[in-house]
Amino acid sequence: MLRLSDSGAYGVASLKISESFLGVEASVMGRRWSSRLTREGEGLAEALSTAHGYDPLLARVLAGRGVSVEAAPGYLAPKLRDLLPEPYSLLDMEAATLRLAEAIQAREQIAIFGDYDVDGACSSALLAEFLVAAGAPAPFIHIPDRITEGYGPNVEAIEALAERGATLLVTLDCGTVSFEPLARARALGLSTLVIDHHQAAEALPDALVVNPNRQDDLSGQGALCAAGLVFLTLVAVSRELRKRDHWASREAPDLLEALDLAALATVADVAPLTGLNRALVAGGLGVMRGRRRLGLAALMDAARMDGRPSAWRLGFVLGPRINAGGRIGDAGLGARLLLERDPAAALAGARELDRLNGERQALEKATVALAIDAAEEALARSNRISCLVLGAADWHPGVLGLVAAKLKERFKIPSFALNFKGEIASGSGRGLSGVDLGKAVRGAVQKGLAERGGGHAMAAGVTVARDKLDAFRDFMNETLESDVETARQAEGLWLDGAVTARGASLERLRLIEQAGPYGQGNSEPVFALPAHRLAFVAPVGDSHLRARFTAGDGAGVDAMLFRAADTPLGAALSKGRGGAFHVALRLSVGEWRGTEKVDALLVDLAPASSS
């Protein structure tokens, strides 16, 4: 049962952990509501509140993320210096550091080969900016075209970089499995350094490979994205250059000013926001609020981004626009924008990325509709599908990962979206929490069912011969069936606590923000408004809804439901005016024209009378 405190926050009294939260067994979205806190978690929340005087809801958020009484003060104010590991704990990092320092001091021509996504763009900009500040020649930067070159280093591009005079090749966010291209680089006399985080096979290419996810690396830093690894590498390089008195003749760059790039990449690459990553993002958001990087400031303006930068805005506003160049336009546009020093050029580049993002959205919408139809046909033929593998010749390669993500969200199973070109099918997959998609794809490669592939637990790329597509599909279904079933059983909505509309105050939400930034691995809190009346519903734009929920004392919360068309929540709102609902929300501090306000995003509903 719930008890209401004077502050408008509910505590939990004598609630059995097996009971559903607010008695909701099947919400409008068909989910069972559960408390995020176990019995031990409830005790920890009380201890946190007692020991530190924390607001009850903040204490529940911390307890739900396993933060101890002793660790809580440091958790709420993460310091990079306390969390940054010794760079040399990563294999090949010392040799990589020495090689980069040597190249900088000798003014060698360095070539950067970056991936075409946000992580690749940020990694490339981060390294290039440091090299120039350290006095090295401006590096050559090559970002491959997604369609004509594909993912990772290729022989033709490497030969062109060598012909232009490069002596050191650095691959960023790629290269771990690029055996043939990197062998060609070695044959051309190029020293090669790989800084990557993708899962690796036992064998590695003939190069220095800084990758915490190589099988023999015991550093424990596998959650870092490529830009996080580049940042760590530059910490080591700057330290080495200081030992060599390199900074005696020039000012050392302030690496903390580059945290905006590490933060953007970390969020956009869906890296877990825990430990070091959380500190990187927290620091980077602070840098970004100063609008010192012309390209990012221009992109915020082009995207009409009102309010302070946040992890959500990095992932859903800025990230997609930088990605748009690599998806359907000029793959190098994002990296160039991040390095731009001319305001007019920055504005032009930002507007172009914003335009491309609009095209990408339209293309994605059309392809998703086709993919959903294909998925429904496949699921109608069989109820034992644990992994969707779908594709067509006219599905644009630039949106396949996005389409796979939408399929996964809608059907709650891992999903691949592929493009067919001749006898080859290639594309992207997206997985569920608790299901290692990258490992399964590598298994398919080892069995000869896929020509190449790999990635992360939650995302993977694959290339399959068309005549082996059915065998690949069968393998993925058999391999993932058990893990998918376990993941489905764990599904539901986990709530951090309950609060009244009056209790959802700006003051309280500012406190709860201290436990952020929220995202992958540090999920944004979800709170319930118990038995609040739906007082008002109105459309916003073509597909969104705004609703107002009020408590018995007249206090209310305005909540947004985005992309409400053809959704159960949208239908429930449209028909439910005047009804009493338990309301699940994500609450945060927003901003409108310089004034802070409560932002509420609707997550789920349950009729109060039936719970």
Q: Of 445, 473, 489, which closes a domain?
A: 489
Q: Of 489, 511, 537, which closes a domain?
A: 489
The token duo for 76 is 């709420």
Task: Report the CATH number at residue 401.
Answer: 3.10.310.30
CA–CA distances in Å: residue 592 to residues 235, 291, 335, 589, 598: 38, 18, 30, 10, 10
DSSP single-letter state for residue 347: H
The token duo for 429 is 């997959």
Torsion of CA 94, 100, 102, 108, to 10 degrees: 160
> How do residues 479-517 score in pLDDT, each as one tens digit?
999 999 888 777 789 999 999 999 999 999 999 999 999
* Within-domain flag for 371: no
CA 237 to chain centre: 27
Both 335 and 392 in a single domain? Answer: no
Q: Of 354, 369, 391, which closes a domain?
A: 354
DSSP state letters, 509-547: HHHHHTT---BTTBPPP-EEEEEEEEEEEEEETTTEEEE
Both 98 and 212 in a single domain? Answer: yes
**Tokens 């990589």 label which residue?**
96
Q: What residue ranges of the chain have pLDDT lower than 70?
A: 1-18, 610-611
Cα separation, 122 vs 314, whole angstroms: 12
pLDDT of residue 454: 87
The CB-side HSE value for 412 (13 A sphere, CA atoms) comes to 12
* Within-domain flag for 421: yes
The H-or-E segment that residue 596 falls in is strand 595-607
pLDDT of residue 434: 87
Contact assessment for residue 570 and residue 534, using Cβ atoms and an 8 Å cutoff: no
Both 484 and 515 in a single domain? Answer: no
Q: How many domains does the chain have?
A: 3
Both 517 and 475 in a single domain? Answer: no
Question: Among 320, 274, 281, 278, which residue's Cα sits nearest to residue 299?
Answer: 320
Both 465 and 552 in a single domain? Answer: no
Cα separation, 607 vs 435, whole angstroms: 33
pLDDT of residue 6: 52
* Within-domain flag for 362: no
* Within-domain flag for 370: no
Cα separation, 571 vs 562, whole angstroms: 13
Question: Among 59, 58, 56, which residue's Cα sits nearest to residue 3?
Answer: 56
Cα separation, 466 vs 397, whole angstroms: 16
The total of other beta-carbon atoms located within 10 Å of residue 48's CB is 23
Both 205 and 313 in a single domain? Answer: yes
All residues at 6 or more sequence positions from 409 whose CB lies less than 8 Å from its CB, including other chains: none
pLDDT of residue 17: 47
* Within-domain flag for 541: yes
All residues at 6 or more sequence positions from 583 whose CB lies less than 8 Å from its CB, including other chains: 528, 529, 532, 549, 557, 559, 602, 605
* Within-domain flag for 6: yes
Cα separation, 439 vs 454, whole angstroms: 7
Both 146 and 259 in a single domain? Answer: yes
Phi, psi angle pair for 217, to nearest 5°: -90, 125
Cα separation, 530 vs 8, whole angstroms: 11
Phi, psi angle pair for 40, to nearest 5°: -65, -35
Radius of gyration of the chain (CA): 25
DSSP state letters, 158-219: HHHHHHTT--EEEEES--TT-HHHHHHHHHTT-EEEEE--S---SS--SSEEE-TTSTT--S
CA 374 to chain centre: 27
DSSP single-letter state for residue 404: H
All residues at 6 or more sequence positions from 255 whose CB lies less than 8 Å from its CB, including other chains: 130, 231, 234, 235, 238
The token duo for 422 is 């001749």
* Within-domain flag for 373: no
* Structural domain that includes position 205: 83-354
Strand, helix or coil for residue 91: coil
Both 543 and 451 in a single domain? Answer: no
DSSP single-letter state for residue 454: E
> How do residues 257-279 score in pLDDT, each as one tens digit?
999 999 999 999 999 999 999 99
Contact assessment for residue 284 and residue 227, using Cβ atoms and an 8 Å cutoff: no
The token duo for 115 is 């991936």
Report how far apart the first and last C-alpha atoms of the chain are (Å, whole number): 13
pLDDT of residue 5: 55
* Within-domain flag for 363: no
All residues at 6 or more sequence positions from 606 whose CB lies less than 8 Å from its CB, including other chains: 22, 24, 26, 27, 28, 33, 581, 582, 584
